[in-house]
Amino acid sequence: MPHYQQPLDVTTLSSWEALRQHREVMQSFRMREAFQNDPQRFDEFSLSSSGLFLDYSKNLLTQETRSLLMRLAREAGLERAIHALFEGEAVNASEGRPALHTALRRPIGDRLVVDGENLIPQVHRVLNQMTELVGRIHDGLWRGYSEKPITDVVNIGIGGSFLGPQLVSEALLPFAQHGVRCHYLANIDGSEFHELTARLNAETTLFIVSSKSFGTLETLKNAQAARTWYLAQGGTESELHRHFIAVSSNIAAAVAFGIRQENIFPMWDWVGGRYSLWSAIGLPTALAIGMANFKDLLSGAYAMDCHFRREPFENNMPVLLAMLGVWYGNFWGAQSHAILPYDHYLRNITQHLQQLDMESNGKSVRQNGSPVSCETGPVIWGGVGCNGQHAYHQLLHQGTLLIPADFIVPVVSHNPVADHHQWLYANCLSQSQALMLGKTREEAEAELRARGMSEEQVQRLAPHKVIPGNRPSNTLVMERVSPHRLGALVALYEHKVFAQSIIWGINAFDQWGVELGKELGKNVYQRLTGHDESPAEDASTQGLIGYFRGRHRG
Ligand code: F6P
């Protein structure tokens, strides 16, 4: 397998220096004026692809900014890196493997040969295996230990084995089929387990243990608890195979847990956890929405893949979003990025993108192990609009931080209620407009005077009413949320994150940072439970262990 060669430190590139100088010039740039001076600005800075429309005109950019950013992308070797990603080169250098989530959405008949093997037939074999299972469950042919059909499916998994499938099954609820209810059990918190199982009937419940590694503590503990619960409810060991299946790349561990080999859906080490919703990890999604809709989801992602691969950077949605993020993070000091979906069904997208972005680009060494010389991934946060408007948007409008935001909104609602959707859409647009326009001192004063206030009152209140404006945002619009458009949307962000990782020279596909917490967790557990009486490494942890043990003594 060819090894992907990392280019030079990005901060040494001539385009980096050109952007640094351009940033100085842009200090006085005002979006308000840019819109007034250029009636074509919206057309100039917007584009469509794969069922998505992106308006990025409300950004601190000119045509020159865009061409400098695209020059940076080219000098940083992004074209070559995209080729490496899709062709299965070892873009994940620390683990010596490719990242081939894009292979999961390639149509049958395509060829992708890695290490002498065409991967596409394997992918479609698993899709067929999924189709068969989904069909048997939907048709009532897969039955529980008392011969009743399955009514509830519980996905036991965490991180990428939870957030992606949960996003998709909830976002596509209007496409739900056959009345199979999907539930997610992720955390090790017993309360989550208790609240969920209290609503379930063991006779008609199927558990999917979703774990790429089959070694994740939370998942294995929950799987054990589910098995104990199933047996306590009247299930038997001999019928366990009717109630427990698995998705994993660690077949041996799943078999050791007691899952029948034929009930294990394979995945591959070349699919990263946070990129796995397209694989058999998407099984709960497929059970919720049916295989035809699941395949539409894949086709949407595939459409975005083709766009990312082929479009020139100036017209390439993931590249544009990525480079705007680089612009703000590396040249304007932005440290976070808000994701604001104006759609109830998309309310979980922020959490999914948080893992996708922060676990991928939360790195401070480059692929070759040298320290980065610039900021890397931002904090991703946000939540569903309009709720955020009555909570944290205040900081977006008047806080001291620059926080770029992505607004995501469908034009058509699945559930029109009176004029609610018009109001929802209006709110979304007016937020990005308010961020961009702001309110000047003169406007604030004029407004107060028009309300008949005394000059003394006007001067006292005006500073509080000033809104700086000139705050950047992107708006992504789609028709109605559909499997195809959702697939394109998620793939758009996957590629954005990848493109940024290439600019920064980091590995988007490993996550060594989470390992230390896991290791220390085991040590703390030993001390909490008295299996290790040696003191903890620090007094704070030791004190808190003592607090716990004091409460649980005897
Ligand atoms: O701990 C982080 C992580 O490794 C994520 O990257 C991953 O999505 C999650 O744990 C779950 O991993 P697995 O699917 O192997 O249980």
Give distance in angstroms: CA of 545 to centre of ligand 1: 27
Q: Is the C-beta atom of 211 inside 6 A of ligand 1? A: yes
Continuous H helices in 174-316: 190-197, 217-232, 251-257, 283-289, 291-310
Residue 454 neighbours by CB distance under 10 Å: 10
Helix, strand or coil, per DSSP, at residue 119: coil
Q: Is the C-beta atom of 212 inside 6 A of ligand 1? A: yes
Q: What is the pLDDT along the chain (554 residues), one digit of tens a residue?
A: 656 666 679 999 999 999 999 999 999 999 999 999 999 999 999 999 999 999 999 999 999 999 999 999 999 999 999 999 999 999 999 999 999 999 999 999 999 999 999 999 999 999 999 999 999 999 999 999 999 999 999 999 999 999 999 999 999 999 998 779 999 999 999 999 999 999 999 999 999 999 999 999 999 999 999 999 999 999 999 999 999 999 999 999 999 999 999 999 999 999 999 999 999 999 999 999 999 999 999 999 999 999 999 999 999 999 999 999 999 999 999 999 999 999 999 999 999 999 999 999 999 999 999 999 999 999 999 999 999 999 999 999 999 999 999 999 999 999 999 999 999 999 999 999 999 999 999 999 999 999 999 999 999 999 999 999 999 999 999 999 999 999 999 999 999 999 999 999 999 999 999 989 898 999 999 999 999 999 999 999 999 999 999 998 76
Nearest CA to ligand 1 atom 3: 159
Q: Is the C-beta atom of 213 inside 6 A of ligand 1? A: yes
Probe target for ligand 1 pocket from 162, 212, 247, 281, with the most ligand atoms within 8 Å of CB: 212
User: pTM of the predicted model, to two decimals?
Assistant: 0.97
Give the span between the Cα atoms of 286 and 245, in whole angstroms: 15
Q: Residue 499 has which token pair?
A: 């493109």
Distance of CA 470 to the CA centre of its chain: 27
Nearest CA to ligand 1 atom 6: 273
Count Cα neighbours of 511 within 13 Å in the Cβ-side half-sphere: 17
Q: Is the C-beta atom of 511 inside 6 A of ligand 1? A: yes
Give the span between the Cα atoms of 408 and 490, in whole angstroms: 12
Count Cα neighbours of 149 within 13 Å in the Cβ-side half-sphere: 14
Nearest CA to ligand 1 atom 16: 211
Nearest atom, ligand 1, residue 248 CA: 14
- Tokens 């490719």 correspond to 98
Q: Would you name the residues annotated as active-site residues?
A: 359, 390, 518
Sheet harboring 152-156: ordered strands across? 181-185, 152-156, 205-210, 244-248, 264-266
pLDDT score recorded for residue 413:
96
Probe target for ligand 1 pocket from 209, 213, 269, with the most ligand atoms within 8 Å of CB: 213
Triad 468, 474, 476: Cα angle to 5°:
145
C-alpha distance from residue 264 to each of 227, 255, 286, 303 (Å): 16, 8, 16, 29
Give distance in angstroms: CA of 121 to centre of ligand 1: 26
Cross-strand partners of 407: 340, 475
DSSP 328: I
In order, the DSSP letters of 372-418 are: PSS--PPEEEE--TTGGGGTTHHHHHHSSS---EEEEEESS-SS--T
Q: Is the C-beta atom of 205 inside 6 A of ligand 1? A: no
Q: Residue 156 has which token pair?
A: 């036991």
Nearest atom, ligand 1, residue 158 CA: 11
Give distance in angstroms: CA of 538 to centre of ligand 1: 28
Q: Is the C-beta atom of 216 inside 6 A of ligand 1? A: yes
Count Cα neighbours of 169 within 13 Å in the Cβ-side half-sphere: 27
Residue 246 region, left (φ>0) first, then alpha (ψ -120 to 50), else beta? beta
C-alpha distance from residue 52 to each of 170, 289, 432, 551 (Å): 20, 21, 18, 55
Q: Which amino acid is at 86?
A: F
Give distance in angstroms: CA of 57 to centre of ligand 1: 37
Neighbour-count burial for 128-158, b at 16+ CB within 10 Å, e otherwise: ebbbebbeebbeeebbbbeeebbbbbbbbbb
Q: Which of 528, 497, 476, 527 is nearest to 48 (CA)?
A: 476
Run of H or E including 336: strand 336-341
Nearest atom, ligand 1, residue 359 CA: 6
As a dihedral over the C-alpha atoms of residue 403, residue 56, residue 80, residue 104, rounded to 10 degrees, the angle is 90
Nearest atom, ligand 1, residue 515 CA: 1
Neighbour-count burial for 271-296, b at 16+ CB within 10 Å, e otherwise: bbbbbbbbbbbbbbbbbbbbbebbbb
Give distance in angstroms: CA of 514 to centre of ligand 1: 9
DSSP 298: H
Give distance in angstroms: CA of 210 to centre of ligand 1: 10
Give distance in angstroms: CA of 510 to centre of ligand 1: 11
Nearest CA to ligand 1 atom 5: 159
Give distance in angstroms: CA of 189 to centre of ligand 1: 17
Probe target for ligand 1 pocket from 216, 222, 514, with the most ligand atoms within 8 Å of CB: 216
Helix, strand or coil, per DSSP, at residue 475: strand
Q: Residue 65 has which token pair?
A: 């900014």
Q: Is the C-beta atom of 158 inside 6 A of ligand 1? A: yes
- Tokens 């944290």 correspond to 392
Give the span between the Cα atoms of 524 and 51, in whole angstroms: 49
Length of the chain equals 554
pLDDT score recorded for residue 554:
60
Q: Is the C-beta atom of 219 inside 6 A of ligand 1? A: yes
